Amino acid sequence: MHLAYPTVVAALLFSVGVYGVLARRNAILVLMSVELMLNAVNLNLVTFDVWYQDRLHGGQVLTLFTIVIAAAEVGLGLAIVLLVYRNRRMVDVDRLRALAEDSTRPAEPAPAGDPAERKAEAVGEAAP
């Protein structure tokens, strides 16, 4: 097998991944595009490892490290996306420029007293 075939496929995968990162607005699709780019790198590592027939199999070892890092990245990325969705009810990357709350709003005073009193005040009833 020629070295050019898997290298071209890896370049195409990497290009599709770069396009996905730059053009998509959904955070889940951006994470999937990053995974495509990592898999293109893995394909190149294994291809060059087979082509040069290294006795130490350095390309395969680096591929395993990349797979572990990709799994950790997916877990952490999905956790962040779920937290952002839970707080903001959206995962549009263009609208999520700042993860902090709006700093122009004045800070709300911390409620004092018993939690039952706070609940009664929120509902508009008298506290028991």
Residue type, 94: D
> Strand, helix or coil at 57?
coil
Locate the domains of the chain by residue range.
4-95
Phi, psi at residue 122, to the nearest 5°?
-65, -35
Residue 106 has pLDDT above 70, yes or no: no
pLDDT tens digits for 50-102? 888 767 778 888 889 999 999 998 999 889 888 888 887 877 777 776 655 55
- Distance (Å, whole) CA 90 – CA 114: 33
pTM of the model: 0.67
Cβ within 8 Å of residue 9, ≥6 positions away: 43
Q: Into which CATH architecture does domain 4-95 fall?
A: Orthogonal Bundle (1.10)
23 token code pair: 């053009």
Give pLDDT, residue 111: 56
Q: b/e string for 101-121 if b means 16 or more Cβ within 10 A?
A: eeeeeeeeeeeeeeeeeeeee
pLDDT tens digits for 8-63? 999 999 999 999 999 988 888 888 999 999 999 999 988 888 888 767 778 888 88
